[in-house]
Structure 1
Amino acid sequence: MSDDWERPEGSWASSAARRRNMQAIRSRDTKPEKLIRRLVHANGLRYRVAAKPLPDLRRTADMVFRAAKVAVFIDGCYWHGCPEHYVAPKTNPGYWSDKVARNMARDRDTDQRLTEAGWLVLRFWEHSSAEECAAEISRLVTERRISQSNKGVQG
């Protein structure tokens, strides 16, 4: 680490190298997301990518099926506190543990708000089988579409 590196104001980065590393982490279009999207698309379903399910909620889902009111999130093990794979950081543990805890709380709040608005929220861990995730997404979106069309016929 260079001695002349100055942390930008408000930055959480402990070094220039750490800052570059953290800035390179993708918030969308991760490998697990792209694989699941490709499989769901191959099943004939169409969706919005990185879209807001609710216009007044400043949160985006990885896949949004508007007509069926299904929001899909593919959560990263580190950033969302996977009970199976999350490992507490050794560098700046207070900041990062708090950050993950805030992410988890925001996830629960998002789930609650969407559910209250009539949405089905599906969450998968990045380590989950893409094939199983895609099959479940396809099944549930199709079921919701059929259910909604049946309600329209009856009502």
Structure 2
Amino acid sequence: MTDIFSPEKRSWIMSRIRGTNTRIDLQMNEILKGLGFPFEMYPKMYGNPDFVLEEERIVIFCDGDFWHGYNYNNKKKPRQKFWKDKIKRNMKRDAKITRKLRKDGWSVLRFWEHDIKKRTGVCIDRIIGKVLEK
């Protein structure tokens, strides 16, 4: 199936999708502020995590359900090959980044969009648990 938008219109639409200061990033920012741990948002480091707790060597990623392939194998997939391939590449890249960071001594926490929005307590418990583990 061909795209219903012109390349220019599709480019404009895609340019509106933010990579930083998303709703889930801002919600995680509030969670971390509430916990009182020192953290940095959008640190310049391998893998571009959303947050880092430098002292504890913990990185946090806030992954959008669609773009990062939540439950991808059991969900209805996009019809266009381009989007299927994009999501699969994102999932592969996420796994590679996680492996490398862990190999380099970082603890990696990845939170799904729906968990940040609806299961905040579970996210808080995972963060506290990881900090106490250190």
TM-score band w.r.t. shorter chain: 0.7 to 0.9
Structure 2's unaligned 5+ residue stretches are: none
Between the aligned partners of 2:75 and 2:131, the Cα distance in structure 1 is 30
Q: Percent identity?
A: 31
- Cα RMSD of the aligned pairs, angstroms, is 2.2
Letter of the 1:88 partner, please give it. K
1:13–1:19 Cα contact (<8 Å) kept: no
Structure 1 consecutive aligned stretches of length 4 or more whose deviation exceeds 6 Å = none
Structure 1 residue 26 displacement after superposition: 1.1
Structure 1's unaligned 5+ residue stretches are: 1-11, 145-155
Higher-Rg structure is 1
Structure 1 residue 88 displacement after superposition: 2.2
Letter of the 1:42 partner, please give it. G
Aligned match for 2:109, one of 118, 122, 130: 122
Aligned match for 1:139, one of 122, 126, 129: 129
Between the aligned partners of 1:119 and 1:86, the Cα distance in structure 2 is 31
Aligned match for 2:71, one of 75, 83, 96: 83
TM-score normalised by L of structure 1: 0.72
1:32–1:130 Cα contact (<8 Å) kept: no
1:75–1:126 Cα contact (<8 Å) kept: yes
Between the aligned partners of 1:113 and 1:13, the Cα distance in structure 2 is 39
2:39–2:51 Cα contact (<8 Å) kept: yes
TM-score normalised by L of structure 2: 0.83
Query: CA offsets per residue over residues 54-87 of structure 1, 9 Å max, x none?
Result: xxx3x21011111111011110111111106854
